[in-house]
Amino acid sequence: MHKLLHGLTDDLETCKLNCAVAKFREMTNLIAEIDIKNGKSLIDESICTLIRVIEPFIPHLAESLWQEIGGEGMLYLQPWPEVAKSLLIDNVVTVAVQINGKLSTIIEVAINLPKEELKKIAMSSVSNKIDQNKVRTIYTVPNKIE
């Protein structure tokens, strides 16, 4: 949610309104995926955030929704939701796997994965495309999209 909020804020600041509206839809999809048994407070917080960020586009509806959920005061007086910068950092990195200099596949692995583990995962992802006995050299560049 914080990545979407960060992107949405950037889209609004740069007047990419169509992208901002697309982020609203992504937010609603994300909220719909939250397990209601385990994440009631997360759902409530996410809905409050969504209502606040749609306010510049549909102020009357947003204000009505704000009052309906029991929001305090007028919605337009509420501060813009803050993005937790620590939650913007990815725990995974995308790595391209090439065979003879040509892109074969793309894999996602944990950030700072040791080179040997990265090699094993990469080899297993392309094992059906190569003959294991003919592999002469394997190059790895950890934490970098190639």
- Average pLDDT score over the chain: 83
Task: Pinpoint the alpha helices (H) of 34-137.
Answer: 40-54, 59-68, 115-125
Alpha-carbon torsion (44, 48, 49, 51), positive or negative: positive
**Cα-to-chain-centroid distance, residue 30:** 10
pLDDT at 100: 75
Q: Give pLDDT tens digits for 71-124.
A: 899 999 999 888 877 766 767 777 878 777 777 788 877 777 787 888 888 888
Q: Give the domain ranges of the chain.
A: 2-88, 92-134
Q: 135 CB contacts (<8 Å, ≥6 apart)?
A: 123
Instruction: Tell me which range, 2-11, 53-62, 110-119, 123-132, is most confidently predicted by mean pLDDT.
Output: 53-62
CATH topology of domain 2-88: Isoleucyl-tRNA Synthetase; Domain 1 (1.10.730)
